[in-house]
Each structure stands twice: as C-alpha cells, then as structure tokens.
C-alpha cells in the first residue's frame, strides 16, 4: 500500500530537493507565514519548520503542493501526465477500509475534556490584517443524518478560545447537511482532519456530486483504500495516518463575528459572522506535523489545490465541447487569484477557440472570469508568452468578448453583491480573449503571427558553449 501520510509527502519533497528545512527558531504567530511564503516565492521550495517558539514537540510544513512539480511528486506521476492522470482517476471510486486504533498513528495521543486545548496547536497567523491565528488546513468529515453517507470538505477555523472556533460554510454540500441537523435542532458532529496526504486534500476540495464520499475519490487517486479509524467522541471516521484530528460539533444556532481573512483571491474576505465549532477531543501523533496552509497573496497551496481541481474538471469538460477539441493544456492562474484561465489548443477551424472559451467560463466552477485561448506554439504556463500573444495575435474588436452580468465567484470583491443577498452571491462581467492566430488569409501570411526566434534556436545548446 502507498503511504497515505502528510509526512511521507514531505519526506519525498525533501528527498527530491524541493524542500528547505528551518531548524532555527521561528514563531507561528509572528514570522512563519512570511518565511514560508518567501521561501516559495524566491526559491520555489516548500518549507519544514522544526523549532517553533511556544510549541515544543511540533513541526510545521508549508507550501507543499504549490505547483505542478510538487503535485506530480504527491500523485507519483511525471509532471506532464498530472492533469490527464487526475482526469482518469477522479472517475473511479475506491472505498476506504477501517483499521483499529492500535494501527492508527493519529491515536498516539488522545486528549479529552480540558486537555483538548486548541491554543496548544501551532496554528499560523497568516495575513497582515487577519485578527488572529486560523487553522486553514482542516478537512471537515461530516455525515448526512438521513443516509449516513460521509462528506469531506475544507473549512477555515478562526481560533476563538481553547475549545471554540468559527466555522465558515459556503453554500455547498456541507451547508446542505448542516441544514438537516438544524431542522432537527441538533448539533452537527464534525471531525477536522489536519495533515493528511495531498490526494485527500485534493478530493476534499473537489466539487463532486452530492452523496459521493470524498474518501472514495482520494482512494482512487492513490490507488488504495484510505485507512480510516473511528473517532473517540463522535460517530465519524477519520484517516488513521493523519497528523491531527479535532473532534467536535457545530452548534445548531448562534453565530460569531469572524474575519477579515486573507483569501484565495489574494484579497481579504471582510469581517462577517460564521457558525460555531465546539471542541470535544483532540487526537494526534506523538511528534505531530501541523500543515500550515498558506492563504492570501499568491502563490500558495490554497490557490494551487483549487486550481488543480478546476484544471482537471475543465480538461474533462472541454474535451466534450463540439464533439472534442484538440485541447493541449489548461492553466488556471493561481497568480490571478484563480480568476483567469489559459487554454492552449489547436483550433481546427476559425471560431473554435471562442467556443472553447465560452465553455471554460461556464463549467462546474465559478472562479474563472477571464479566459484566454493561445496556440500550440505558446507555453501556457509562461506569462511572457501569453502576454506576447495577447498583443500580437489579438485584434480587440473581434477577439475580445465581454459577457455582462453573469454569476461570479464569491471572492471577487470587484463584482457586485446580488442585492439583498450575502457576499457569497455576486454578479459581474466575464471576459473571453481569443489570442490564437487568425486563420483567415493565405497560408504564407501566417508568418505575420510567428514568434521571431533566434536562428537555429532549437539546435543551439547553451551548455556546449558556457565557460
Ligand atoms: C485551502 C482551502 C480552504 C477552504 N476554505 C473553505 C471555507 O472556509 N469554507 C467553505 O465553505 N469552503 C472552503 N473551501 C472550499 C471547499 O472546501 C470546497 O469547495 C469543497 O469542495 C466543498 O465540498 P462539498 O462540495 O462537499 O461541500 C476551501 C478550499 C480550500 C482549498
Ligand atoms: Mn461533497
């Protein structure tokens, strides 16, 4: 069976030269977020912090799936094969298996009652205007009370005391299930899983159909059933190889002020109110590794997890457009706060790129509000080449289309909130830009749109000439 732990992935990153280990003292409340962010931004590396002020015995990892290379290490494929592999595997389901507590590292330490104290966890104070530390890496395991089917989704938690956090629930499956408990006037049991294999994070961030247990998807991604173990105080199951689990419940009524919070858009979600999570127990490994999920200014894992999910869905969705497009790459731009997508394709006929762009802006995900199509000769991950296409191959009057007043992602602060609704419901403009070469005109005229590369560019190898 493949390893299902967070630390296994972190060890693989380190072995492949993708991670920097910080043994000097760092402070999760003061400088860990900036250090992890700068380490990735300037060096492209993940971080592991081993000496934490105020949190002896813990380590914190950060920026562990921030790009395709790191995702490819997690899934165990070549980078070029990552998205096609995910497209294949999300179709499958592998049901989890139950294991005993004795075989579950997450049960090495069990803390009940007053011993279950959130302030002992090295939760990170992330963005400048956040009011306090948050846990952003918690996956909530809950159950539909009628069917007993599990749901797993990521929810941020503002720490508000030793046994209380805020709990933000956007209108998706978790909110639907919470509504069922509210109707019964019962608290909703929830187990927050913190620190597990990236495949489990991917599955929990993926928008799947209602009633599909996300652990089944994670199992398909890994090619093995996820090993689950029973919780101590609630009737739920959690990954046995996790680092940390917070067992608790979300109260059926009452809201607490929460926010602001530096978000995946790279801007702040402003202060609002959220549901209340009450802690019942904490279990963790003997030497727990906290996953310090970096949010806010791009690039962070927050953008990369969702971008990878959207890329998978769009690759699948766009392949069915017009009976099948020659789609070569899809890049959801984390650097644009998830709101732009670049499609690389080989249009077979004039107008086909626009059809693809329309589909990219109308998919299971609301995030992209700008879609750009580029040709086969452009590296869709290289913004220099994409921007070059945006000028040399775009005739604005015919290649730029704006669709006014459509549904927009909730975190796009520049778009309007639907009158009378919460900020979760926004309306605004979407932009399509066809930056593929115009195919009109004689074949020899196509050179007008070719990038003028140095002579013998493909044959000259710098290595042969460097001193
Ligand atoms: C790092 C990260 C943090 C997230 N935080 C929240 C959150 O606080 N509240 C929320 O409702 N969704 C949040 N999401 C999105 C949901 O986890 C995601 O949409 C999930 O697919 C919802 O699952 P569901 O369809 O089973 O409800 C977050 C996603 C990521 C990647
Ligand atoms: Mn779900």
Last residue of a domain, one of 236, 252, 283: 283
168 lines ligand 1 (CB under 6 A): yes
With contact defined as beta carbons under 8 Å apart, do 97 and 227 qualify?
yes
With contact defined as beta carbons under 8 Å apart, do 250 and 178 qualify?
yes
Query: What is the Rg, in whole angstroms, of the alpha carbon atoms belonging to the chain?
Result: 23
- Does 274 share its domain with 307? no
Residues 107 and 104: their CA atoms lie apart, in Å, by: 6
Q: Find the CATH number of the domain harbouring 135.
A: 2.30.110.10
Per the domain annotation, does 265 fall within a domain?
yes
- Does 257 share its domain with 180? yes
199 lines ligand 1 (CB under 6 A): no
- Does 274 share its domain with 309? no
- Does 177 share its domain with 306? no
Q: What pLDDT is attached to residue 151?
A: 98
Minimum-distance ligand to the CA of 174?
A: 1
Per the domain annotation, does 3 fall within a domain?
no
Q: What pLDDT is attached to residue 319?
A: 86
Q: What pLDDT is attached to residue 323?
A: 86
- Does 197 share its domain with 103? yes
- Does 311 share its domain with 268? no
205 lines ligand 1 (CB under 6 A): yes
**The pair of three-digit structure tokens given for residue 142, joined into one six-digit string:** 């809950």
Q: Which atom in ligand 1 lies closest to the alpha carbon of residue 157?
A: 8
Q: Which atom in ligand 1 lies closest to the alpha carbon of residue 295?
A: 1
- Does 275 share its domain with 127? yes
Q: What pLDDT is attached to residue 254?
A: 94
90 CA distance to ligand 1 middle (Å):
18
Nearest CA to ligand 1 atom 9: 155
149 lines ligand 1 (CB under 6 A): no
150 lines ligand 1 (CB under 6 A): no
Q: What pLDDT is attached to residue 143?
A: 98
Closest CA to 61 of 9, 109, 15: 9
pLDDT digit string (tens) for the chain, length 467 residues: 999 999 999 999 999 999 999 999 999 999 999 999 999 999 999 999 999 999 999 999 999 999 999 999 999 999 999 999 999 999 999 999 999 999 999 999 999 999 999 999 999 999 999 999 999 999 999 999 999 999 999 999 999 999 999 999 999 999 999 999 999 999 999 999 999 999 999 999 999 999 999 999 999 999 999 999 999 999 999 999 999 999 999 999 999 999 999 999 999 999 999 999 999 999 999 999 999 999 999 999 999 999 999 999 999 999 889 988 999 999 999 999 999 999 999 998 889 999 999 999 999 999 999 999 999 999 999 999 999 999 999 999 999 999 999 999 999 999 999 999 988 899 999 999 999 998 766 667 788 899 999 999 999 999 999 99
142 CA distance to ligand 1 middle (Å):
13
Per the domain annotation, does 167 fall within a domain?
yes
- Does 229 share its domain with 117? yes
How many independent structural domains does the chain possess?
2
Q: What pLDDT is attached to residue 447?
A: 84
Per the domain annotation, does 401 fall within a domain?
yes
- Does 136 share its domain with 217? yes
Mutate to test the pocket of ligand 1, among 130, 155, 302 (most ligand atoms within 8 A of CB): 155
Closest CA to 189 of 208, 172, 171, 167: 167
Q: Find the CATH number of the domain harbouring 388.
A: 3.40.1670.10
Nearest CA to ligand 1 atom 28: 154
Nearest CA to ligand 1 atom 5: 155
Q: What is the pTM assigned to this prediction? A: 0.97
The dihedrals phi and psi of 295, each to the nearest 5 degrees, come to -115, 180
Per the domain annotation, does 348 fall within a domain?
yes
**The pair of three-digit structure tokens given for residue 137, joined into one six-digit string:** 């890496």
213 CA distance to ligand 2 middle (Å):
7
- Does 275 share its domain with 334? no
Last residue of a domain, one of 283, 313, 345: 283
Per the domain annotation, does 332 fall within a domain?
yes
Taken in order 364, 369, 373, 378, the sign of the CA dihedral is negative
3-state secondary structure the chain: CCCCCHHHHHHHHHHCCCEEEECCCECCCCCHHHHHHHHHHHHCCEEEECCECCCCCCEEEECCCCCHHHHHHHHCCCHHHHHHHHHHHCCCCCCCEECCHHHCHHHCEEEEHHHCCHHHCCCECCCCCCCCCEECCEEEEEECCCCCCEEEEECCEEECCCCEEEECCCCCHHHHHHHHHHHCCCCEEEEEEECCCHHHHHHHHCCCCCCCCHHHHHHHHHCCCCEEEECCCCCCEEECCCCEEEEEEECCCCCEEECCEECCCCCEECCEEEEEEEEEEEEECCCCEEECCCCCCCCCHHHHHHHHHHHHHHHHHHHCHHHCCCEEEEEECHHHCCCEEEEEECCCCCCHHHHHHHHHCCCCCCCCCEEEEECCCCCCCCHHHHHHHHHHCCCHHHHEEEEEEEEECCCCCCCEECCCCCCCCEEEEEEEEECCCCCCCCHHHHHHHCCCCCCCCCCCCHHHCCC
Q: What pLDDT is attached to residue 441?
A: 61
Q: What pLDDT is attached to residue 352?
A: 94
Per the domain annotation, does 117 fall within a domain?
yes
Domain with 102, as residue range(s), is 95-283
- Does 199 share its domain with 341? no
Per the domain annotation, does 169 fall within a domain?
yes
- Does 130 share its domain with 188? yes
406 lines ligand 1 (CB under 6 A): no
């Amino acid at each position: 069976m493949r390893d299902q732990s967070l630390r296994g992935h972190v060890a693989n990153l380190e072995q492949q030269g993708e991670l920097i280990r910080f043994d000097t003292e760092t402070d999760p409340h003061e400088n860990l977020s900036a250090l992890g962010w700068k380490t990735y931004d300037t060096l492209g590396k993940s971080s592991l912090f081993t000496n934490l002020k105020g949190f002896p015995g813990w380590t914190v990892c950060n920026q562990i799936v921030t790009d395709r290379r790191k995702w490819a290490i997690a899934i165990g494929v070549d980078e070029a094969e990552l998205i096609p592999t995910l497209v294949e595997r999300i179709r499958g389901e592998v049901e989890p298996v139950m294991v005993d507590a004795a075989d579950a590292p997450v049960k090495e330490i069990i803390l009940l009652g007053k011993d279950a104290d959130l302030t002992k966890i090295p939760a990170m104070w992330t963005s400048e205007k956040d009011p306090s530390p948050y846990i952003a890496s918690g996956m909530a395991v809950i159950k539909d009370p009628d069917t007993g089917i599990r749901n797993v989704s990521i929810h941020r938690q503002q720490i508000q005391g030793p046994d209380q956090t805020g709990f933000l629930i956007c209108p998706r499956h978790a909110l639907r299930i919470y509504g069922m408990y509210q109707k019964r006037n019962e608290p909703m049991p929830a187990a927050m899983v913190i620190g597990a294999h990236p495949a489990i994070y991917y599955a929990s961030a993926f928008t799947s159909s209602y009633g599909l247990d996300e652990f089944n998807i994670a199992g398909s991604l890994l090619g093995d059933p996820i090993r689950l173990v029973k919780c101590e105080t609630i009737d739920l199951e959690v990954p046995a190889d996790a680092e940390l689990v917070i067992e608790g419940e979300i109260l059926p009524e009452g809201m607490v002020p929460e926010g602001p919070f530096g978000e995946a858009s790279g801007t702040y979600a402003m202060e609002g109110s959220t549901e209340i999570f009450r802690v019942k127990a904490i279990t963790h490994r003997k030497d727990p590794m906290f996953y310090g999920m970096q949010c806010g200014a791009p690039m962070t894992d927050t953008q990369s997890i969702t971008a990878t999910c959207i890329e998978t869905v769009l690759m699948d969705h766009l392949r069915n457009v017009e009976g099948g497009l020659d789609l070569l790459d899809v890049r959801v731009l984390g650097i644009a706060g998830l709101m732009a997508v670049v499609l690389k394709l080989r249009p077979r006929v004039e107008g086909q790129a626009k059809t693809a762009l329309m589909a990219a802006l109308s998919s299971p995900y609301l995030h992209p509000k700008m879609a750009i199509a580029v040709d086969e000769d452009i590296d869709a991950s290289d913004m220099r080449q994409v921007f070059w296409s945006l000028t040399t191959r775009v005739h604005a009057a015919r290649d730029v289309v704006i669709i006014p007043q459509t549904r927009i992602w909730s975190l796009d602060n520049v778009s309007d909130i639907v009158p009378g609704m919460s900020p979760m419901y926004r309306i605004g403009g979407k932009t399509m830009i066809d930056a593929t070469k115009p195919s009109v005109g004689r074949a020899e005229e196509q050179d007008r749109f070719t990038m003028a590369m140095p002579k013998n560019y493909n044959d000259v190898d710098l290595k042969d000439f460097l001193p």
